[in-house]
């Protein structure tokens, strides 16, 4: 439960960096490109270059590395389960002396595949955390509206969809904060939430989840009332006080990203 409280995905981290100042459209399209390439590469040198690029982006953002590690702590069991699943169930040449029970065995291919899949999951989550940490929710909404604007010709509700996605991202840290408050409130009442058998732990988990969801529904209702008070009309056309500007800085960053992507593809193929 403590790992869930420390999740940073969806939180904006204010800092003065070149990554923070980049246009949100560039950051969103770059993240999509990087995620696609993360699932496409498997060459060790390409994986190494991709990892180096991610670390360089984190360094340029001037955000502490511990901030991103806190995000990954919540998913550590997912990484472990994925690695173990591929470790034992990937067909291939078994390792001499490895445990063998029926069809369960450790193979060289399983170690490589488990490590690769876990690396992909870590990279995707880190990229998502980097985007939300360096881009405000309002910038994400405006950037998504601009990227999806051609779909308006097909009568797709671009602005409503962008607002919905922004609120979904913002509710991740809200869920974390609400869980932390309920956790502390229950412990202050003397609740033992970390010990006992399966039944006792399940009851303790219910005592946390029910108030959390009640609090989330209350926040959602307050948000709906706030939108109505500000004159929000679903499907209505809205304007932005501050327009997005594409400058030479974004063009230079785009050139660097394309060169880097070409280098990775060259190493892969």
Q: For 72-120, how does the pLDDT look when each residue is reduced to its tens digit (9 = 90+)?
A: 777 777 778 877 777 777 776 766 655 555 556 777 777 788 888 888 8
On whether the CB atoms of residues 5 and 180 are closer than 8 A, the answer is yes
Q: What is the pLDDT of residue 26?
A: 92
The burial class, CB within 10 Å (0-12 / 13-18 / 19+), for 19 is: buried
Band (pLDDT 50/70/90 cuts) for residue 3 is very low
Task: Establish how many alpha carbons lie within 13 A of residue 139's alpha carbon, considering only the half-sphere containing its beta carbon.
Answer: 18
Q: For 157-215, how does the pLDDT look when each residue is reduced to its tens digit (9 = 90+)?
A: 887 788 787 777 777 777 777 777 777 777 777 666 656 666 766 777 777 778 888 88
Band (pLDDT 50/70/90 cuts) for residue 27 is very high
Q: For 241-253, how does the pLDDT look when each residue is reduced to its tens digit (9 = 90+)?
A: 667 788 888 899 9
Q: What is the pLDDT of residue 220?
A: 80
pTM for this model (two decimals) = 0.72
Q: What is the pLDDT of residue 100?
A: 54
Q: Please, where are the H alpha helices in the chain?
A: 2-5, 18-21, 24-40, 44-60, 65-73, 76-89, 108-134, 137-148, 158-188, 198-229, 248-268
- How many CB atoms sit inside 10 A of residue 68's CB? 22
Question: Over 50: is that where the pLDDT of 133 sits?
Answer: yes
On whether the CB atoms of residues 44 and 90 are closer than 8 A, the answer is no
């Amino acid at each position: 439960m403590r790992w869930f409280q420390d999740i940073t995905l969806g939180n904006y981290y204010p800092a003065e960096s070149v990554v923070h100042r980049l246009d949100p459209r560039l950051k969103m399209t770059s993240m999509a490109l990087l995620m696609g390439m993360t699932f496409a590469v498997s060459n060790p040198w390409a994986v190494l270059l991709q990892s180096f690029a991610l670390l360089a982006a984190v360094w340029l953002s001037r955000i502490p590395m511990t901030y991103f590690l806190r995000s990954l702590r919540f998913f550590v069991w997912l990484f472990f389960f994925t690695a173990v699943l591929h470790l034992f169930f990937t067909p291939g040449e078994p390792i001499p002396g490895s445990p063998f029970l029926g069809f369960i065995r450790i193979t060289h291919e399983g170690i490589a595949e488990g490590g690769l899949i876990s690396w992909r999951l870590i990279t995707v989550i880190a990229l998502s955390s980097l985007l939300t940490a360096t881009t405000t929710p309002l910038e994400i909404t405006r950037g998504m509206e601009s990227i999806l604007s051609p779909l308006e010709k097909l009568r797709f509700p671009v602005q409503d969809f962008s607002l919905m996605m922004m609120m979904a991202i913002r509710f991740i840290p809200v869920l974390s904060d609400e869980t932390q408050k309920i956790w502390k409130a229950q412990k202050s009442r003397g609740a033992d939430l970390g010990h006992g058998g399966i039944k006792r732990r399940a009851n303790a988990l219910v005592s946390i989840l029910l108030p959390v969801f009640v609090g989330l529904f209350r926040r959602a209702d307050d948000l709906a009332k706030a939108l109505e008070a500000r004159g929000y009309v679903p499907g209505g056309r809205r304007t932005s006080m501050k327009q997005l500007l594409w400058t030479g800085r974004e063009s230079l960053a785009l050139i660097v990203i394309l060169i880097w992507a070409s280098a990775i593809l060259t190493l892969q193929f």
